[in-house]
Structure 1
Amino acid sequence: MSRARLEQERAEVHARLALLRADLEAFRAASERDNADDEHDPEGATIAFERSQVSALLREGERRLRELDAALERVAAGTYGVCERCGRDIAPERLEVRPAARTCVACA
């Protein structure tokens, strides 16, 4: 796993976060403009439900961004790809799937 790949994934997560923040702001604005009782709308999901979903995705994206930042710090420190528990190398296949992995499969 290269620094460039981590930075690319970080940029992708950052872009998704920007879209989610815009969606969340749109839901907030819609709920301020609309006094309708969307809790009893038979047509589908409520604004509150959709806002809750976007908020959860936003929290997950922010967590992912922190993980990628920590992985980039490990790259800079020369410890990327080394298990934090046992000190063995983390398999390249694991890093391909989970670039921010801190532990090897055995320790996970």
Structure 2
Amino acid sequence: MEADLSALFDASRDSNADDEHDPEGQTIAYERAQVTSLLQQARTHLDELDDALARVRTGRYGVCDVCGQDIGAGRLEARPTATTCVAHAVRR
């Protein structure tokens, strides 16, 4: 993904198209910002998944980081990367 993003930025940097004045479309800068944001969100989610896998390996998956009680199955189904029970998630 990062290579694709870099290639996109390189290609648009070399372009002489003036999209900043196109009333019909988004600007290249806006689209770059959107793609960059999506990439960051994907990185964050992958980090959360890596953390969840580490908790599985150590036997801590499904255990609240705050109180040590089990995280409910419904919460884990809705958010498999959850690190807290519902009660402590609400307090954050």
Tell me the TM-score range normalised by the shorter chain: 0.7 to 0.9
Q: Whose relative contact order is higher, 1 or 2, with alpha carbons under 8 Å and at least 6 apart?
A: 1
Matched, 1:95 2:60: no
TM-score, normalised via structure 2 length: 0.87
Deviation at 1:30, TM superposition (A): 3.0
Task: For structure 2, list consecutive stretches of 5 or more residues without a partner in the other structure.
Answer: none
- Please give the alpha-carbon distance, in whole angstroms, between the structure 2 residues aligned to 1:47 and 1:26: 14
State the match for 2:66 in structure 1: 85
Output one character per residue of 1:76-95: Cα deviation in whole Å (capped at 9) or x when no partner: 00000000001110001111
* Equivalent residue number for residue 54 of structure 1: 35
Q: CA deviation at 1:34?
A: 1.1
Q: Please, what is the CA RMSD of the aligned residues?
A: 1.5
Equivalent position SS for 2:35 = helix
% identity of equivalent residues: 57
Q: Determine helix, strand or coil for the equivalent of 1:106.
A: helix
- Does the 8 A contact of 1:27 with 1:47 survive in 2? no
Q: Find the partner of 1:69 among 44, 47, 50.
A: 50
Displacement of 1:38 in angstroms is 1.5
Cα drift, residue 40 of structure 1: 1.2
Look up the equivalent residue of 1:95 and give its one-letter code.
L
Long gaps (5+) in structure 1: 1-17
